Structure 1
């Protein structure tokens, strides 16, 4: 089970969300467009505790990274079929893992599943919230775009790190 739930990979993936965010929301990328779409100004952006904001953002990204192995690593599905304890599995499980333990364990494959998660989970959730908040399409696509790219990178890191 440890091979699929790698704490270091999950921490690196969580930290990558902050790195990507610092680029994505930079004024020269999407930052200014996001501020306008979010109906925020510089004064509002300077309010609040940045330690609290970034600390919670990192915590939330880590929480997300703990869910990603089940999405981006196919072998976690096999592990779940036996109740999560390989010592209680039939011999066929060991044979299966011996044959397929590293199949699809690449950055590219994890990124693909991260992108799909972003499109089919995050976009509908953020889009629904934004509609009720009366935000426009630009707001939805800037924020969802960030999460699609971020989940691609996070998924790639988690899937490839063995």
Structure 2
């Protein structure tokens, strides 16, 4: 693998896009209330969480996901269309893993759709960014 053809700035931007999508996705505007209810969480419990740990590891894992997707897209023929499709396919893969784990944890389909849907949307956007910014 030729790492010199990887756009590391695009990886950082793609990872940041997952934060933006997550901030909206898990807000009360979209699915925050549903996600909290199906996760058996309340506002106090969330406020008591270690924000440094949560956001720090989220940043690390978002960077890993973006870098991994960029490596799969590391081809001169990659464009925004292929990046978007590859991101969508990676999102379906992630959705499936979330569904499997959640089914064994006896989570609801609503929970699976919220968390899996986030993976599909965020990875699709990551792929679009990485494909467009070669």
Q: CA deviation at 1:106?
A: 2.4
Query: Which residues of structure 2 form unaligned runs of 5+?
Result: none
8 A Cα contact 1:72 1:114, kept in partner: no
Q: Shift of the alpha carbon at 1:37?
A: 1.3
Aligned mates of 1:45, 1:144 — CA distance in 2: 20
Question: Could you say which residue in structure 1 is the equivalent of 2:129?
Answer: 157
Supply the distance in 1 between the matched residues of 2:114 and 2:17 (Cα, whole angstroms). Answer: 18
Cα shift readout 1:60-98 (whole Å, capped 9, x = no counterpart): 00011111023334x2xxxxxxxxxxxxxxxxxxxxxxx
CA distance in structure 1 between the aligned counterparts of 2:15 and 2:70, rounded to whole angstroms: 13
Structure with max Cα Rg? 1
1:47 aligned residue: 48
Q: Following the alignment from structure 1 to structure 2, what is the Cα–Cα distance between the partners of residues 40 and 57?
A: 19
**TM-score, normalized by length of structure 2?**
0.91
Deviations 1:22-54 (A, max 9, x none): 011110111111111111111111112212211
User: Residues of 1 paired with 2:35 and 2:72: CA distance?
Assistant: 29
TM-score by structure 1 length? 0.77
Q: Distance in 2 between matches of 1:116 and 1:72?
A: 12
> For residues 18 and 54 of structure 2, what CA distance do their matches in structure 1 show?
13
CA RMSD across the alignment = 1.3
Q: 2:94 matched to which residue of 1?
A: 122
CA distance in 2, matches of 1:58, 1:10: 12
Q: How many residues align?
A: 132
For residue 68 of structure 1, what is the aligned residue in structure 2? 69
What secondary structure, in the 3-state scheme, does the structure 1 residue paired with 2:41 have? coil
